[in-house]
Structure 1
C-alpha cells in the first residue's frame, strides 16, 4: 500500500528507503506471527482470529499482517500478553540488570533521522503526545509487530512490552517522561520540540531512555530520534533498534497524516 506522505529515513548516516523499512518490518511480522502460532496453537489462534489462520496471515500483505497481530494482541489483553511472554520477560529482566552492572555507567545510542516534506512537527508531536494522554493502546501497539503492550499507568508512567531491536526476547520496562536526569543524550537547541524520559524497571533501576527531538524546517518535519542503552549492549542490537525506530515512527507519521500533513 502506498503511503500518503513521503518519508526519508537515515539510520546514522545511512539513507534507507521506505521499502527497506517495510521489508524489515515484514520480517519481524513473520517472526511474531510464527511465535503466536507456536504458543497459542491452532485453537488459540482461531479464538482470536476466526476464519483466519496463521498460514493465511503469513501469505498476506504487510498491512494485513499488522492488523492481524494487533487484533490478537488486544484480544489476549494485558494478562494474556504477560502469560504469552512470561519466560521471555523474566530472562530479559535478568539480562537488563546484568547489562547495566557490566556497563558501569557507559551508554550507547541508537539514532535515526526522519525528514517528512509538507508535514508539521508540532502537529505530529501533539498527536503523538495525545496517544499517551488518551491511552490509545491500539494505535501504540499497531505501530510495529514488535510492540506487545503499551499503556499509560495511573502514576503517569508508560508501560512498554516490546522486542527491542534485535533482542532474542521481549522486554518490559516503564518510561517516566517526567524524569531525564539519567539521560546523557544531548538536547539539541535547534530542535525546540522534545519528548524525553528514562526507562526503568519496577524497582527504579534505570536501564536506558529516549530523547526524541522535532523541528519544522522549510515546510518539512525533521526528527532526531534517539534511544539510550547500557554500553555493554552488542553493536548489532543497537543497529537493529534503528530499524525498530524507523518502523514505528514511520507508521505513526502515516497514521497522523490526516492531522499533521500540510499539503
Structure 2
C-alpha cells in the first residue's frame, strides 16, 4: 500500500485536511461552550476555552464527554436541547414531501493507502460513544454499528442542537438517488427520532457509494434530507461528513 492520502471535494472545490482541522477547532469550542452553559463539569471559564490551542481543546472535549458517556447522563444534560431538536425535525417533516424532493449534501472522497476491507472492519464493529466523539466533535452518544443499526446523539449539519436518533439500514428497494453504476458498493440507511421512532416520512437518509481501487477506494458520501430542511443544514452536513470520514479513515489506517 502507498502512504495514506485523503482527498475530499465539496461543491467542486478541493478541501484540505488543514481546512478540516480549522472546522473541527471551531466546532470543538462551540460544543465546549454549549456543554458548559448546560452545566457540564468543565473547570475552565468560557473565555479560557476560547484561548485553548486546538489539541488541548480536543482533549478537553473528549474528557468532558467521557464524564457523560452513560446515555441517561447525556440525556439529562441535553434534556432541553434534545426536546427542541425533536420539535424542529417534526416541523420540518410536516412541511416536507415525505421521501420525495429530498435535498442532497454530497462529498466526493478519494483515498489511497488503505483498502476498503480495513475500513469496513472498523465500521462493522461496535461504534461506542468514545469512538464516535473521536471522529467528530458533534457526536455525543453512540451504540450499535452500521450493519444492524445505531442509536446516536449528534448535531446534524453543524446547525442547531443535538438530536437523539436511530439509524437503520434500508431493507427495501428505495434509494434516494440514481446510483452511479461505477460504484458497486452502497450503504443505504434512514433515520428516525429516538423518542418515538418517528421516521419523519422516511425522508432523512444516508446513502454512500463506494468503489475499490488498486491503491484504496473512492466514495460518494451523501446525506438526503426532507424538502423543507434549511439550506444551512444541507451545506453544514457536507463538512460534518468530511470531518467524520477523514478521522475514521485515519483511525482505521492507524489500526491497520
User: Which residue is equivalent to 1:91?
Assistant: 84
Q: 1:119 to 1:110 in 2, by over 3 A?
A: same
Are residues 115 and 63 of structure 1, via their aligned partners in 2, closer, same or farther at CA, if it must alter by over 3 Å? farther
1:104-183 superposed matches below 5 A: 104-105=97-98, 106-130=101-125, 134-152=126-144, 156-179=148-171, 181=173, 183=175
Q: Distance in 2 between matches of 1:73 and 1:19?
A: 24
Give the deviation of 1:207 after TM superposition: 4.5
Q: Is the 8 A contact 1:110 1:239 kept in 2?
A: yes
Q: Are the counterparts in 2 of residues 150 and 160 from structure 1 also a CA contact under 8 Å?
A: yes
Q: Give runs of aligned pairs for residues 236-251 of structure 1, distance below 5 A.
A: 236-251=232-247
Q: 2:189 — aligned with what?
A: 197
- Please report the TM-score for the alignment, with normalisation by the length of structure 2: 0.86
Name the CA distance, whole Å, in 1 between partners of 2:34 and 2:27: 11
Distance 1:72 1:180 in 2: 39
3-state SS of 1:231 partner? coil
Helix, strand or coil at the partner of 1:7: strand
CA distance in 1 between partners of 2:166 and 2:245 (Å): 19
Where has structure 1 moved over 3 Å in runs of 4 or more?
52-61, 178-183
Counterpart secondary structure, 1:256: helix
Tell me which residue corresponds to 2:254.
258
Aligned-partner Cα distance in 2 for 1:64–1:86:
27
| Equivalent residue, structure 1, for 2:215 | 219
**Hey, what does 1:6 align to over in structure 2?**
5
Using the TM superposition, name which of 92-101 and 209-218 deviates more: 209-218
Task: Find the aligned partners of 2:39 and 2:211 in 1 and give their Cα distance.
Answer: 44
Could you say which residue in structure 1 is the equivalent of 2:18?
19
Q: Give the corresponding residue for 1:33.
A: 32
CA distance in 2, matches of 1:110, 1:252: 19
Q: Does the Cα contact within 8 Å between 2:166 and 2:197 map onto a contact in 1?
A: no
> 2:124 & 2:180 partners in 1: Cα distance?
20
What's the offset of the Cα at 1:86?
1.1
**Mapped partners of 1:158, 1:180: distance in 2:** 18
Normalising to structure 1: TM-score of the pair? 0.84
- For residue 66 of structure 1, the aligned residue among 42, 58, 61 is 58
Structure 2 gaps, min length 5: none
Match of 2:42 in 1: 45
Secondary structure (helix, strand or coil) at the match of 1:40 reads coil
| Rounded Cα–Cα distance in structure 1 between residues aligned with 2:72 and 2:253 | 33
Distance 1:135 1:147, change over 3 A: closer
User: 1:102 and 2:98 equivalent?
Assistant: no
Q: Per-residue deviation at 1:198?
A: 0.8
Partner of 2:22: helix, strand, or coil? helix
